[in-house]
Amino acid sequence: MSNRTFEILGQNIRQERNNQNMTQEQLSEKVGISAVFLSQIENARKIPSLETIDKIVSCLGISMMSAFDGDYVSTPNIDKRIDILLQGKSENEKQFLFDTMNYIANSLNKNGMLSVIEAEAR
């Protein structure tokens, strides 16, 4: 793999870590590596093993493919996206949205579609 490949990997790891408001220390602790080594990975100064990359992407909740994607655009995780959606909404609006999501989830589950959607998301 080229140096550019590891530059992209490091940029994507940093971007996703920042999107999750995680410090290098927090992520490196979860992965079981030093913060210095994580910094070196993010700056393409060290090449991690495949096992280390797998641990990093697992902790970040992204796929191995997206970690190496040069066009990777991170989106905040679903909890953050829901929080953003609910900002500024009244309690009635929040309740309506919750009830709507609950109705859809129950309908999908009754029709066996929820397992199909979950499988496609993986």
Q: What is the DSSP letter of 20?
A: T
How confident is residue 96, by pLDDT bands cut at 50, 70 and 90?
very high
The identity of residue 75, as a single letter, is T
Residue range 33-89, pLDDT digits in tens: 999 999 999 999 999 999 999 999 989 988 888 888 876 655 556 666 677 677 788
Q: Burial, 61: exposed, middle or buried (Cβ in 10 Å; 0-12, 13-18, 19+)?
A: exposed
In the DSSP assignment, the letter for residue 46 is: S
Structural domains of the chain, with CATH: 3-67 (1.10.260.40), 88-121 (no CATH)
Please say whether the beta carbons of 55 and 70 come within 8 A: no
The predicted model scores a pTM of 0.60
Is the pLDDT score of 121 beyond 80?
no
Q: Which residues contact 38 (CB under 8 A, 6 or more apart)?
A: 13, 24, 27, 28, 31, 56
Q: Which bin fits 44, alpha (ψ -120 to 50), beta or left (φ > 0)?
A: left
